[in-house]
Every structure is written in structure tokens, then in C-alpha cells.
Chain A
Amino acid sequence: MSSTAPALPPAEPAQPPEAERPAQAVVGVPAGPEGERLAAAVVEEASQALPGRAVKVVALPRQPPGAAGSHLAADGALPGLLRLGLDAGAAACAWVGGAGDPGRLGLLLGPVLDHGVDFVCASYRRAPFEGALTTALVYPVTRALYGVRLRQPLGAELALSRRFAERLAADADWAGDPARAGADLWVVTRAVEGGFAAGQAFLGPYPPYLAEPEGPPSESLARVAGTLFRGMERTAAAWQRVRGSRPVPTFGESAPLPGTGHPPGAARLVQAFELGCHDLTEVWGAVLPPATLLALRRAAREPVASFRLDDGLWARVVYDFALGHRQRVMDRGQLLRSLTPIYLGWLAGFVAECGGQEPVAVEARVERLCLAFEGEKPYLISRWRWPDRFNP
């Protein structure tokens, strides 16, 4: 199913009829019972956000969010979208998960159509303690690995230039298994590797259609960390060459939303960490070096009021778990779930430090965390290359 937005003004007689003109952008939306209504709404959005530009909207089937351990909402739909975009001769392709603010399409497609950006990752304005897994894990790891400061790299919505779409379509991974290749961090890494201009667009508050039901933290962590670690394995050759990080062009209002209500309490998070230290030491011992285990035990003895888990320690723990995931030292699900108490421990320190602070101060704290992950990257590279020899 497809619809086309009203395009260039009728005052220009040289223009061919609307149906014959090639689309400048192809926008994919999820197919389903609401697919037709959604496509019509997005056509309306496009006519307001990109006046005078022909935008084709197509509804494409995709896997449900989170299927097969993935996080990218465009999973399974991206190959079809790119094929349609390339066939239509479009300058840009985009994927959106639902109907939203009309300005959103302009923010998503504008950088590609007007600013020469090849890959736009959608981000959203969120309160400091929303998307804690992205803050604690996904953003710092992606930034340290691939050197691009994409605040929400596992974005559920995105836009690509034709140049980048052609490169993706010609990729050997894509030819082998497009659905799998297009998932996870694959698109981000291909953009970084290929020297394509990556950017991010803040599309406003987190849209309700992307909100997933908040399950147990261990399940969410296992899913997100699994996605991240699988991406690390596939792109090991690429990220080992990257040093430092650079900002990317950012569009839209990026300031986080202020927190509402009472700041979260850290006591129960610390208790979860202490329980993990008491019971899971043996499991952690399969992946963590003795020095790290000792540091975790020391941290567990700290009183709740002054409890903090050092950023460098947290970064090393994440890198060690990534290595354990790669080496399959135990069942991967068990391994990733066993990371939960340490994650909650780091989160306890984070909420204790940032509770009640201004969003700007919270972002400064996140910046320090990212620098710690970048600082520990040589440790990851050493352990990744020589897992048996380099074991401090």
C-alpha cells in the first residue's frame, strides 16, 4: 500500500503530474490493521513538514519490537524500504513508527535532503532517569566503540540518504541476510566505516507508540546488552581502529526534559547490588578478573548514603561481560541477566548523584561516564585480542 503527499505547487506548469513525478523521499510506516490510516496521517504530516516535495509513504511489515532480541523498530522492514526508495529514485528514505508531530518528518528528512547528512538517527527528549539503559550502557559503549556521539544510537526511527542506501544495498552482509544485516548497530557501523555523515535529530518527547511495557530490568538489560554485544562481535575489526569520539550534527531541541516528581530512591538499588555481590560472585568469576571482583566486593561494603560504583569499574565490567558473551563462557541469557545487580549498583550511584539536579548537570555527569568508557577502551581491545594472556 502506498500514498503520495501533495507535492509542488500547481502554479508551476512545467512540473509533470503528481503521479508521474519521482518521489524525493520514501517514508516507511509499520503495516498492520492501522497501516492505512497511519500512512494517510504521515502523508498529511509530510505535506505540512516538507511542502513542495514529493514524499511517498509505504506501509511495510516488520518484526514486532524486541523480536529475536532486537531493538530496532525497523527490523525486517528496512530491506523493503531501501529497495522501494532506490527503485523510486528517492533522495532519502525514512522509517517512522507511528503518526506524530508534523515537524518530526522535517527534522528527520531535512538533514538528508538539505544538509548532506547520510544517516539520521532519531532521538527524543527524555527525563534524566528515563531510558536508563541507554544512558548507562548503550550510549557510552557505542560512543567509545564507534567514535560517534549519538545519544540514542538504537533509535527506532531513522533516515538515510540515497548514497548511503546504495552502499547498504551493495554490502555483502546485506546480500546474505538483509533483515539481520539491517538490524541493531549494523547501520551505525556501516555509516561510520564508510565515512558517511551521521547525524541525530531530536524529534521531541518520547512518542507513546514506541513505549514498550516496562518489564523486569534483567529482561530489558539482557535484550539490550545482547543486541549491543552481538553488534560488537560483528564489527570487531572496525571498532578496534577507532580512537576517541566526535560530535555529530544535531538537529532539533536536544535538552533533556526536567524530571517530574520525587527523585528516585537508591536504597533498594544498592540492596540489589549487595545481594548480587553476596550470591553471584561465583558466576561473575567466570568473566570478571579477580581485581574487578575485589573492587565490587569493596563497593558492596560502602554504606547506602555514600554508595557509588566508579565509572571506570563499570566500564571494565561491561567490557568483560562483552568478552564473556563473545567467548560463550556460559549460557548467554544467564550471563547477561547476571549483569543486572552491577547495573543497578551503578544506577544507584547515578540517581544518588543526579537526583534533583538540573538536566544540564545530569548530561555533564553522563559525559564523564562516556569519557570513562573511552578511557577504558584500550583495556577492552587488549582483552578482546588476548583473552587468555591479558587477565589482570
Chain B
Amino acid sequence: MWERTQTILARSLERALESLLAVLPGVIAMALVMGLSLLAALGVRAGVRRALTGLAFDRRCRQWGFEGLLDWSPGGSPTALLSRLGFWLVLLGGAALALGALGGATAGGLARKLLDWLPNVAAAGVIFVAGLFAARFLERSVLVNAVNLRVRSGRPLALGVRWLVVVLAAAMALEHLGIGGTILSLSFGILFGGIVLALSLAVGLGSREAVSRTWERRIREAEPRREAGQEEEAEDEVRHL
């Protein structure tokens, strides 16, 4: 009886050891990959921080007008934000590789999915950041040109352009990540179309009288000038070139 029990226990132990030995290289490889990933992530963080500090990135962000980026950054430093982003991206990539090293159908599938997804995350990030730059550039262009054309509603116009481009960039980035699918495109289409329609209606119907009053006022203002001394023509006497 005791001998039989001993045999069963020995076989069980042997099977357990065999299983452990089968998994152990994968675990060791995973730990190794994770350790190397951590080192790489730390290196990337330090490298990004050093490079961006050398470029005075924080000051440039302020000069370029990315106040939003400053608000989201830890300690108000976009350099810290980007270096941490780099750190976590590398670590996430390392984790996906480590899962693959562990072996097994589930872990391997998950790793493949994560690794497949990472380029999309990077591309979406690039799209969004480029969108932010484009939004800022267009906002300034609209604002400066509106002021130079003496349009009084330049600021809301510029702000509208900025948010439109930011929303467009966000929608494109999310679509690239595969989040939302057609719902996102549909929502954006409805939102964009709605804004344009609302603006058209506002100008066409709601502001009809205001537009008419503005034109009347302009015509009234112009008439006495023409009669009194042709001030507008006189202003043209300033030749800039």
C-alpha cells in the first residue's frame, strides 16, 4: 500500500517537475525580456529627457503656444510628459514581447495583438500631435489675417478653426486605433455637418437683420465721408512701399 502511494506521489512530483521545467525557460526568458525592456525604457526616458532639455523644448512649447500640452504635463513640463510616454511605450512593447516569450496559445495571441497594436498607437499619437500643431498654426493664421482685414470677430473665428482641427485630428487618431469604428466617423460627420448647417442658419436667418443693419450703418458712415472730405480716398495717400 505504502509503496503504491509512494509510486503515485513520485509520478505526480515527476509530472509537476516536468511541467515546471517545460515552463521555466519561458518564465526565465520573460523575466529577462522584461528586465531588458525596463533598462531600454529607462534609457529611452533619459535620452528623450536629455534631448528635449537640450532643445529647450519646454520653452519652445510655451513660445509656440501649446498651453494645453503644458496643462496636461506632470509639473507643467512637456519634456517630462514625452519622456514618460516614451518610457511606458517601450515598457508596453517589452511586456508584449515577454508574453510571447512565455509561450502558449493565449499568451502568444495576446502578445501578437499588442505588438500589432503598438505601431497604430504610435501613428495615432503622431496624427494627434500633428493635428495639434496644424490647429495652432491655422488658429494663428486666421486670427492674424482677420485682424489685418479688420474683422472684429477674429478671435471666435480662430478658436472655432482650432477646435475643429483638434476634433478632426482626434477623430482620425481614434479611427487609426480602431476605437469607435463607423460610429466615430458617423458622429464626426453629423457634428461637422451640424456646425456648418447651424452657422449657415445663424447667418442666413438669425443674423439677417443684424447683417442688414451693419450694411446700412456702413453705407451711412461712408456717405458723409465722401461728401465731407473724401477721407477714405485721402487715407490711400499713405503708400507703404
Q: Mark A206-220, 1 if CB is under 8 A from B, else 0.
A: 000000101011101
Chain B min CB distance to A254 (Å) = 19
Contact size range, B: 20 to 34
Asked, given contacts A133-B240, A338-B144, whether A329 binds B234 with beta carbons under 8 Å apart, the answer is no
Contact with B along A114-131 (1 / 0, CB 8 A): 000000000000010111
A271-300 interface code vs B (CB 8 A; 1 in, 0 out): 110011001101100100000000000000
Q: Tell me whether A132 and B155 are in contact in the complex, defined as CB-CB below 8 angstroms, given that A262-B234, A276-B147 are known contacts.
A: no
Question: Are B240 and A286 interface neighbours, CB within 8 A?
Answer: no
Q: Is the CB of A133 within 8 A of B140?
A: no
Q: Does A73 contact B (CB under 8 A)?
A: no
With A261-B234, A262-B230 in contact, is A334–B144 under 8 Å at CB? Answer: yes
Contact status B239-A275, CB under 8 Å: no
Smallest CB gap from A221: residue in B: B240
* Cβ of B132 to closest chain A Cβ, rounded Å: 14
A35 at the interface (CB under 8 A from B): no
**CB <8 Å contact, A330 and B140:** yes
**A window 321-347: CB within 8 A of B:** 327, 329-331, 334, 337-338, 340-341, 347
A279–B238 CB distance below 8 A = no
Q: Which of B147, B233, B241 is the most central at the interface, judged by chain A CB atoms within 10 Å of its CB?
A: B241
Cβ–Cβ contact A132 & B240, under 8 A:
yes
Q: For residue B230, which residues in chain A have a CB less than 8 angstroms away from its CB?
A: 262
Known: A218-B148, A280-B143, A330-B65. A264 touches B237 (CB 8 A): yes
Decide if B154 is an interface residue (CB 8 Å cutoff): yes
Partner of A286 from the list B63, B149, B234, B241 (CB cut-off 8 Å) is B63
- B179-213 vs A, CB cutoff 8 Å, 1 = contact: the mask equals 00000000000000000000000000000000000
Check B148–A133 contact: CB distance below 8 A.
no
In whole Å, how far is A356's beta carbon from the nearest beta carbon of chain B? 11
Tell me, yes or no, whether A42 is within 8 Å of chain B by CB. Answer: no
| A217 with B240, Cβ < 8 A, contacts A330-B64, A334-B140 known | yes
The CA-CA distance from A217 to B241 in the complex, in Å, is 9
Inside 8 A of B237's CB, which chain A residues have their CB? 127, 129, 259-264
**Chain A: minimal CB distance from B240 (Å):** 5
How long is the Cα–Cα vector from A329 to B63 in the complex, in angstroms?
6
Taking the complex as formed, is B163 at the interface, i.e. its CB lies under 8 A from any CB of chain A?
no
Interface residue SS majority, chain B: helix
| Residue A244 interfacial (CB < 8 Å) | no
| B132-155 near A? 1/0 per residue, CB < 8 Å | 000001001101111111101011
Q: Is the CB of B3 closer than 8 A to any CB of chain A? A: no
Complex Cα distance, B146 from A283, in Å, reads 13
Asked whether any CB of chain A lies closer than 8 Å to the CB of B229, the reply is yes
Q: In this assembly, does B223 line the interface, its C-beta being within 8 Å of a C-beta of chain A?
A: no
Task: Let me know if A167 is at the binding interface, CB within 8 A.
Answer: no
Assembled-state Cα–Cα distance A276/B144 (Å): 8
Interchain CB contact under 8 A, B235 and A265: yes
User: Is B116 part of the binding interface, using a Cβ–Cβ cutoff of 8 Å?
Assistant: no
Given A264-B234, A334-B140, are A282 and B65 also a contact pair (CB < 8 Å)? yes
**Interface pair A331/B238, CB less than 8 Å apart:** no
A341–B147 Cα distance when bound, in Å, is 8
| Nearest CB on A from B4, distance (A) | 85
Q: How far is the CB of A155 from chain B (nearest CB, A)?
A: 13
Say whether B231 faces chain A, with CB atoms less than 8 Å apart.
yes
Chain A CB within 10 Å, residue with most, of B146, B155, B235:
B235
Contact of A331 among B140, B145, B154 (CB under 8 A): B140
Q: Are A279 and B140 in contact (CB under 8 A)?
A: no
Q: Is the CB of B63 within 8 A of A220?
A: no
A351 to B235 Cα, complex, angstroms: 10
Q: Do residues B144 and A265 form an inter-chain contact, with CB atoms below 8 A?
A: no
Instruction: Check if A243 is an interface residue, CB within 8 A of chain B.
Output: no
CB-CB < 8 A to A334: which residues of B? 137, 140-141, 144
Tell me whether A337 and B64 are in contact (CB under 8 A).
no
Q: Mark A223-262, 1 if CB is under 8 A from B, else 0.
A: 0100000000000000000000000000000000001111
The reply on A268 being an interface residue by CB < 8 A is yes
Q: Are B240 and A220 in contact (CB under 8 A)?
A: yes
Closest to A341 in B: B147
Are A337 and B65 in contact, with the CB atoms below 8 A?
Answer: no
Contact A214 B65 (CB under 8 A): no
* Contact present for A268 and B235 (CB under 8 Å): yes
Q: Across the interface, name the chain A residue whose C-beta is closest to B140.
A: A334
Contact status B238-A351, CB under 8 Å = yes
Using CB atoms, name the residue of chain A closest to B146: A279
Q: Is the CB of A220 within 8 A of B241?
A: yes
Do B239 and A131 have beta carbons less than 8 Å apart? yes
Inter-chain contact B148/A216, CB cutoff 8 Å: yes
Which partner residue on chain A sits nearest B143 by CB separation?
A279
Interface residues of B in 111-161 (CB under 8 A from A): 137, 140-141, 143-150, 152, 154-155
In the bound complex, CA of A267 to CA of B221 (Å):
13
Residues on B with C-beta less than 8 A from A329 are 63-64
CB pairs A–B below 8 angstroms (22 shown): A131-B240, A217-B148, A217-B240, A218-B148, A261-B234, A264-B235, A264-B237, A272-B148, A275-B147, A275-B150, A275-B154, A279-B143, A282-B65, A283-B143, A286-B63, A286-B65, A330-B64, A334-B137, A334-B140, A337-B148, A338-B144, A351-B238
Contact residues of A with B, CB < 8 Å?
127, 129-133, 212, 214, 216-218, 220-221, 224, 259-265, 267-269, 271-272, 275-276, 279-280, 282-283, 286, 327, 329-331, 334, 337-338, 340-341, 347, 351, 388
Known: A132-B238, A262-B229, A286-B65. 8 other contacts (CB 8 A): A214-B240, A220-B241, A264-B234, A265-B235, A268-B235, A279-B154, A279-B155, A337-B144
